């Protein structure tokens, strides 16, 4: 939708009034930096002025714009779409509401948590309920880590458990509930993961492997390593991520193969996991991958591998970390 690399304060006006005018005159064309900057850091009065303009725009355009803001916010940390994202949670279009949840991915306010609980339980759209349930996971984790009061985040735990145990709920919502609840030490977690993995629903099995990684419990190590060789690409991806989260040294040979998988996302997560695990063999493989990426002129891959190597070094086995430039 836009060239995000060109978004910076020197070439993009931040006036809300100019952004409103741009929305009115855009003709639902691709949004530009004027709109992206103008929708940042909105005040209450701005939202009130925006409402009639926003509602006049066709739903497909509102949806595209809100989705674009997800990418923009991840790229430019100067922009703050908190107010606009909260506004989007109440949009009549489910696609806008779903994207608004993603826009608010860094927000850990209890106000937002309570809004997400309501959406997870009562929104008319399955996709929105799934997105809201997934987003509850970060609040559950924040409570577990003491970053938010557990007396408050237990509401998110209870909501996720209720959704998980509701047989009438759509499977895509229930699987997100399993992933979210895995962020805490609730007594239900181990049994729920085991039941999902050994059940008949393949999507729940995939989410159970995701959840295994979130538990940081190496009791799941054998299962994760087994699934690294799955015929299903989504399962291999989640197993690779879980292997990294669990820091499974035994997974390194499997991950080294996945680093050459035909699926780009699997290759990327395998590189990330090798960095999380660290150690002599993981570092050796990452150095080989770095050499290969440089030879191919693949700068994106080289950057990801460099980051993984840095993580591997932080893991404490820097004795074996050597620059691939010296090989």
pLDDT tens per residue across span 36-90: 889 999 999 999 999 999 999 999 999 999 999 999 988 888 899 999 999 999 9
Determine contact, residues 96/88, Cβ cutoff 8 Å. Answer: yes
**Cα dihedral: 84, 87, 93, 96 (round 10):** 30
Rounded distance between C-alpha atoms, residue 87 and residue 141, angstroms: 25
Does the CA dihedral 173-174-179-182 come out positive or negative?
A: positive
Q: Could you give the CA distance from residue 102 to residue 127 in angstroms, rounded to a whole number?
A: 12
Q: Which domains does the chain have, with CATH numbers?
A: 1-104 (no CATH), 108-215 (1.25.10), 218-327 (1.25.10.10)
pTM for this structure? 0.87
**pLDDT one-digit tens code per residue, 150-173:** 999 999 999 999 999 999 999 999
Q: CA-based angle 74:172:231, to the nearest 5?
A: 85
């Amino acid at each position: 939708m836009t060239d995000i690399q060109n978004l910076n304060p020197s070439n993009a006006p931040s006036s809300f009034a100019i952004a409103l005018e741009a929305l009115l005159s855009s003709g639902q064309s691709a949004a530009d930096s004027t709109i992206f900057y103008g929708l940042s850091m909105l005040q209450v009065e701005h939202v009130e002025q925006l409402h009639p303009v926003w509602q006049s725009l066709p739903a497909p355009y509102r949806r595209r714009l809100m989705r674009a803001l997800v990418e923009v916010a991840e790229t430019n940390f100067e922009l703050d779409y908190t107010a606009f994202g909260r506004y989007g949670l109440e949009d009549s279009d489910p696609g806008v509401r779903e994207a608004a949840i993603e826009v608010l991915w860094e927000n850990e306010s209890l106000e937002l948590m309570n809004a997400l609980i309501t959406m997870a339980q009562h929104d008319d759209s399955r996709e929105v309920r799934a997105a809201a349930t997934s987003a509850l996971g970060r609040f559950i984790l924040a409570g577990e880590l003491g970053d938010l009061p557990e007396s408050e985040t237990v509401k998110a735990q209870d909501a996720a458990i209720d959704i998980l145990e509701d047989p009438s709920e759509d499977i895509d919502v229930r699987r997100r509930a399993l992933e979210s609840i895995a962020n805490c030490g609730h007594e239900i977690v181990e049994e729920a993961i085991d039941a999902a993995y050994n059940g008949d629903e393949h999507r729940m099995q995939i989410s159970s492997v995701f959840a295994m990684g979130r538990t940081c419990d190496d009791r799941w190590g054998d299962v994760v390593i087994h699934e690294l060789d799955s015929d299903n690409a989504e399962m291999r991806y989640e197993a690779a991520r879980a292997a990294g989260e669990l820091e499974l040294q035994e997974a390194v040979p499997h991950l080294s193969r996945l680093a050459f998988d035909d699926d780009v996302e699997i290759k990327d997560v395998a590189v990330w996991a090798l960095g999380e695990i660290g150690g002599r063999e993981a570092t050796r493989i990452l150095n080989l991958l770095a050499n290969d990426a440089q030879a191919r002129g693949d700068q994106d891959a080289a950057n990801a591998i460099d980051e993984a190597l840095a993580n591997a070094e932080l893991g404490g086995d820097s004795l074996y970390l050597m620059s691939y430039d010296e090989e």
